[in-house]
Chains A and B, each alone.
Chain A
Amino acid sequence: MCSWIVEKAAMDGVAKGPDGWMDIKQANVYFDHPFKAAMEHALIVDFVHDPDRPNGRVAIEISAESAQRLVESINRALTTGEAVHVLGEKVHA
């Protein structure tokens, strides 16, 4: 850990922070020491509005097991008819 390794994913969507909804352009994902969670290590995701500025971020710090469950849930949600239809359209666009 203590590695500065960050996985980045471009985002198209919005997230709600303390000041309301904002556009989200990137998700920074890493497994390292959290700031707040009472854990040695956590899976951390920063959904950021502007990657270069310290304002406009929605953050989560969750256990590795929680992250795994989240990934499985997301994958299941993406196999529903509507999602498959949308993703399929993008694949064939």
Chain B
Amino acid sequence: MTTPYQGLMAETVTHEGADGDLISGYFARPLGSGPFPNVIVVHHMPAWDDATKWLASRFAFYGYNAICPNLYHREGPGEADEVAAVARAAGGVPDDRFIGDMRGAMEYLKTLPYSNGKVGMIGFCSGGRQTYLAAGRIPELDAAVDCWGGRVIATPDQLTERQPVAPIDYTADISCPVLGIFGNDDQSPTPEDVNKTEEELKKHGKEYEFHRYDGAGHGFFAVDRPGYRPVQATEAWKEVFKFYGKHLA
């Protein structure tokens, strides 16, 4: 029996974003001619950080082209945490800009000579919210994974000029399957928020699957944070790859 060959490469690239701006992204892909399915990894609020970039490499390891766009590119250049601090003080990433950046990232992935043309998205924390938003606003998206996205549901006082519409209000427009991963000890979203989101998806007849984990809180995939829950994270990662295997093949 021959040991199967495995290889990947990863590097910083630039791709088009909202308003035709060129933004940076961390791109990883398996070595080989493909065609490979594609995933956009949406980083969490604290930064376009090493931990999230590493997740792009993880997808490449398992046979996906993956890009993690730098949502804070325009607030830089600078160290990841410095740039994130500027973005946060300005009120966060405007939703319209995010959608434009994701359209650019999709175009980048779809036109790769080793792409199969299908694109999924996965986002964590604020990126989970943004992924739910993208599912409703980008009809070309093939699969969306929301990992504990906070504020998918928002009260009127939580809406701002930069985030003017709660993502849940786009539920009727969602045209791709949605996978939700949540910890039952999370405070944002709470289990009640998750139930409300599920009700909305059900009401509009959307294809979705939600997985809730006991003994896990917010961000339980993060191996470098105290909330890491290896057993629950391992189970949930299996669901992610099963979901993408079904919808991006």
Chain A residues with a Cβ under 8 A of chain B: 1-4, 6, 8, 26, 28, 30, 32-36, 38-40, 46, 48, 51-55, 57, 59
Chain B residues with a Cβ under 8 A of chain A: 44-47, 49, 75-86, 88-92, 125-126, 129, 149-151, 158, 160, 162-163, 187-188, 217-219, 224-227
**Secondary structure dominating the interface of A:** loop
**Secondary structure dominating the interface of B:** loop
Extra A-B contacts (18), CB below 8 Å, given A26-B89, A35-B49, A53-B86: A1-B125, A1-B150, A2-B44, A2-B149, A4-B88, A4-B160, A4-B162, A32-B45, A33-B45, A33-B46, A33-B219, A38-B224, A48-B89, A54-B76, A54-B77, A54-B79, A57-B82, A57-B85
Complex contact B125–A28 (CB within 8 A): no
Residues of chain B within 8 A of A52, CB atoms compared = 86, 90
Residues of chain A within 8 A of B227, CB atoms compared = 40
Residues of chain B within 8 A of A6, CB atoms compared = 88-89, 91
Complex contact B86–A2 (CB within 8 A): no
Complex contact B226–A38 (CB within 8 A): yes
Complex contact B89–A28 (CB within 8 A): yes
Complex contact A3–B151 (CB within 8 A): yes
CB distance from B105 to the nearest CB of A (A): 21
Complex contact A36–B81 (CB within 8 A): yes
